[in-house]
A = this chain, B = another copy of it.
Amino acid sequence: MQAEATRPGAIEAMARAARVASRTLAQSPTAIRDKALWAAASALRETRTDLLDANAKDLEAFTGTPAFRDRLTLTPERIEAMAAGLEDMADLPDPVGRILADWSRPNGLKIRRVATPVGVLGVIYESRPNVGADAAGLCIKSGNAVILRGGSESFHSARAIHAAMAAGLRAAGLPEEAVQIAPGTDRRYVAEMLAAAGLIDLIIPRGGRSLVERVQNEARVPVLAHAEGLCHTYIHAAADPKMARSIIANAKMRRPGICGATETLLIDAAIAPSLLPLIVEDLKELGCDFRADDRARAIVPDLKPATPQDFATEWLDATLSVATVDGVDSALEHIARYGSGHTEAIITSDETVATRFLNGTDSAVVMWNASTQFCDGGEFGFGAEIGIATGRIHARGPVGLEQLTTFRYEVLGSGQIRP
C-alpha cells in the first residue's frame, strides 16, 4: 500500500466529514459504541497477518536506533494487547450523558449541565503504532470523531490498524468517518491539522519533546499536552526515613524514562546529613547517577556537581539532580523556578507542612507520601489514558475518558419568559 500523493485540503475535507460523523456518534447509544470497540478488537485479531505484514514493510525500510525499532515493532502479543485494551474500554462507564450538575431556579426553570463529547479530535503520534488503536478507541468510547496522524516510520502499520478500527465502526453501523487517518506521510498534513481551528476541536500530540513543542507552538487549535515532566520529590525534615528511601528509589528508578519519573530530589538540610548518604547508596545500587548542589556534596563528596541548567533538565534517564533546601517554602520556590507543571511530591509526617506544599504549587498533580510514578490514568483508576496534560484549562494531569468530554446546559421550562 503506497502513501498517496499529497493532497492539499485533504485534512479540511476529512475534518468536515468528521464533524458530520461526530454528530451521529454523539447521539449513538452506549451499546453501539461499545459494539464498535468489540468488533474492532476482533478485527485486529482476525487481521493479525495483515498487521504483521504491514509492520514488516515499515521495519524493512527503517534505519534508526534499536530502541526506536523496538517501539515500532508489532508482535502477536502487542496486537493482542491492543485488542484487549479496546475490550477493556468497552467495559468502562460511558462518560457521555453524565449529569454534572442540576438545579432549579426560583422561576421554576430546571437547569442541568450534561456531559457531551468534545466533537472532533486530532491525535498526532510517533513511533508506537498501537497509539492509533488506543486513541481511536478512547475517542469512539467518548463519542468523539478523530483524525489520526502517526509517524512516517509506521505509516503502513498505522493504516492497517486504522482498517481494523473502520471495520469495527462498520460492524456497529457507525459512520467510518468517525475514525480517519491522514492519507500520507507528508508533514504538511500535520500543519493542516494544527491550523484547522473550528474544524478540529482539540489536538493531542503523543511523542517526544520536539513533536509536542512544535504542536504547542504552531497550533491554532486547542492542545492537550505536556512537553516536559520535570517532577520533584521533596523530602521534608519530618519525613519517615524508611518511607523516603523507598519512595525516592521508586520515583526515580522504577522507569526513569517516563514523564512521571522524579528528576530532582529536594532534601531538607536538617535531614540530609543522616538520610542523603543512604539514599545515594540505594540509588547507586540501582545504577543511578547524580548531579548535586554544594551542600549535598559536602555530605556525599563524590557526587558530581550540579549546574543551574541541570535543575532545568528532564533527564529521562538514570540521573538524579539533588538540591538541598531549607523548609517547605524554599522547596516550593525551587519548584516554581524549575518545574514544568507536571507532578510534585512531598514526603513528610507533618500534615501542616504537607497541606502547605499541596496548596503551594500550581502543578497538575501534587502528592503526599507517594511516588511520582503514580501519575498515570490507569493508576488513577481512569481505566484508560490518552495522554498527560500540563496546560491550565480544560484538563490537567492524566487525560481519561471524562476529560474527552465537554458539556452543554439543558434548560427545562414550562413556558417561562424573562422579565
The verdict on A365 contacting chain B, using a C-beta distance below 8 Å, is: yes
- A109 vs B201: C-alpha distance when bound (angstroms): 34
Determine if A393 and B392 form an interchain contact, defined as CB atoms under 8 angstroms apart: no
Minimum Cβ distance to chain B for residue A215 (Å) = 12
The verdict on A18 contacting chain B, using a C-beta distance below 8 Å, is: no
Determine if A366 and B397 form an interchain contact, defined as CB atoms under 8 angstroms apart: no
The verdict on A182 contacting chain B, using a C-beta distance below 8 Å, is: no
Minimum Cβ distance to chain B for residue A153 (Å) = 30
In the complex, the count of this chain's copies comes to 2
- A242 vs B25: C-alpha distance when bound (angstroms): 36
The closest CB in chain B to the CB of A119 belongs to: B392
The verdict on A411 contacting chain B, using a C-beta distance below 8 Å, is: yes
Report the interface size for chain A: residues with CB under 8 A from the other chain.
63
Determine if B365 and A409 form an interchain contact, defined as CB atoms under 8 angstroms apart: yes
Determine if B362 and A408 form an interchain contact, defined as CB atoms under 8 angstroms apart: yes
Determine if A412 and B368 form an interchain contact, defined as CB atoms under 8 angstroms apart: yes
Q: With A393-B118, A408-B396 as known contacts, state yes or no: A109 contacts B336, CB within 8 Å.
A: no
Determine if B23 and A415 form an interchain contact, defined as CB atoms under 8 angstroms apart: no
- A331 vs B367: C-alpha distance when bound (angstroms): 50
A: which residues have CB within 8 A of B? Answer: 23, 26-27, 103, 105, 109, 111, 116, 118-119, 197, 201-202, 216, 222, 240, 243, 246-247, 249-251, 254, 336, 358-360, 362-371, 373-374, 376, 379-381, 391-394, 396-398, 406-418
